[in-house]
Amino acid sequence: MGASTQDLQKDGLIGLSEVAAQDMPAGSLYVVALPIGNAADITLRALWILSNVDAIASEDTRVTRPLLARFGIRTPMIAAHQHNEREMAQQIVGRLARDERIALVTDAGTPAVSDPGALIVRAVLDVGRRVIPIPGASSAVAALSASGLGAGPFVFAGFLPAGANERERALRLLAADGKPFVLFEAPHRISDLAAQLHSALEPERRVVLARELSKKFETISVHVAGDLATLEVEERGEYVVLVDVAPAARSDSNDTADIDPAVTRWLAALLEEMAPARAAAIAAKVSGLPRQSLYALALRLKSPAQH
């Protein structure tokens, strides 16, 4: 094991006695969330785990090392990134077999969520070893909490595919689904994404752009898709992009009142076999009615108030 409680307190990590009393099983992989920008967001449990594992598998040791140094953590590190993840998975499995404790971290946020790490986690699970999540800051959840988009279900899409055709198709599917969705985007592609959202979404659909979350120059701005084509987006800092529920899914029954009862019955039958978005798409193709109107009706039919 690594640092003692006294060592941590001497290094300024006060208040860890409760954390230090927790069980820390040997031969386990600890998936540790790191701050998304503000170092003060690191959790006490993360500090304790990182101080006491045998090694830290890091996406980029050059990024992780300065963060650990701020808290006096001197645990040895190994590099585990997208280019060597398969190889490192086997190395980590071997070390766990010797009852070592290994932490897995990414540059910011949680490993294996739009970041490397999933192959390592899967390899550890496949050999029957424990994977223990150490939760912490999440840019997606932080952005959602400050977006005003509501507490309903949403789709987390992470980074879109890099290829133009795949990217367009992914956006089209997300837009058609009708639910709120969350994207990550790099600064050099954010202007292109804004233009693509303008084309894919209804003009009145709300879009929230969250940049540099938890950092000094954090900004969270609310727009409608119709304005994105002319919006000047600052190409600096990582973005979380949130798209609100489709307008048709918000509306009352006005836009569904004229739907033929036979179509309604057929849609209800489809809903017994598939999700509302898929059922609405099929019904729209066959009936010629607007997909968004059918999707709004499908949501009403699925609502507990309708049963």
Measured CA angle at 221 (ends 219, 224), to 5 deg: 160
User: Three-class SS string for the chain?
Assistant: CCCCHHHHHHCCCCCCHHHHCCCCCCCCEEEECECCCCHHHCCHHHHHHHHHCCEEEECCHHHHHHHHHHCCCCCCEEECCCCCHHHHHHHHHHHHHCCCCEEEECCCECCCCCCCCHHHHHHHHHCCCCEEEECCCCHHHHHHHCCCCCCCCCEEEEECCCCHHHHHHHHHHHHHHCCCEEEEECHHHHHHHHHHHHHHCCCCCEEEEEECCCCCCCEEEEEEHHHHHHCCCCCCCCEEEEECCCHHHHCCHHHHCCCCHHHHHHHHHHHCCCCHHHHHHHHHHHHCCCHHHHHHHHHHHHCHHHC
Q: Which two tokens stand for residue 242?
A: 């949130």
User: Is 131 in contact with 124 (CB distance < 8 Å)?
Assistant: yes
Residues 6+ apart with CB under 8 A from 290: 248, 255, 284
Q: Which of 174, 299, 285, 199 is nearest to 249 (CA)?
A: 299
* pTM metric for this prediction: 0.75
Helix axes of 118-126 and 85-97: crossing angle, nearest 10 degrees? 40
Angstrom distance (rounded) from CA 286 to CA 179? 23
pLDDT given at position 149: 86
Q: Which two tokens stand for residue 202?
A: 């209804």
Query: How does pLDDT run across 189-222, given as a tens digit for each residue?
Result: 999 999 999 999 988 899 999 999 999 999 999 9
pLDDT given at position 206: 94
pLDDT given at position 249: 59
pLDDT given at position 307: 38
Amino acid, single-letter form, for residue 103: A
Strand order of the sheet with strand 29-32?
77-79, 55-58, 102-105, 29-32, 131-134
Q: What is the pLDDT along the chain (307 residues), one digit of tens a residue?
A: 555 555 555 554 555 677 878 889 999 999 999 999 999 999 999 999 999 999 999 999 999 999 999 999 999 999 999 999 999 999 999 999 999 999 999 999 999 998 999 999 999 999 999 999 999 999 999 999 999 886 688 999 999 998 988 998 999 889 888 889 999 999 999 999 999 999 999 888 999 999 999 999 999 999 999 999 899 999 999 999 999 998 765 554 455 556 887 888 888 889 888 888 888 889 888 888 888 788 888 877 775 443 3
pLDDT given at position 151: 65
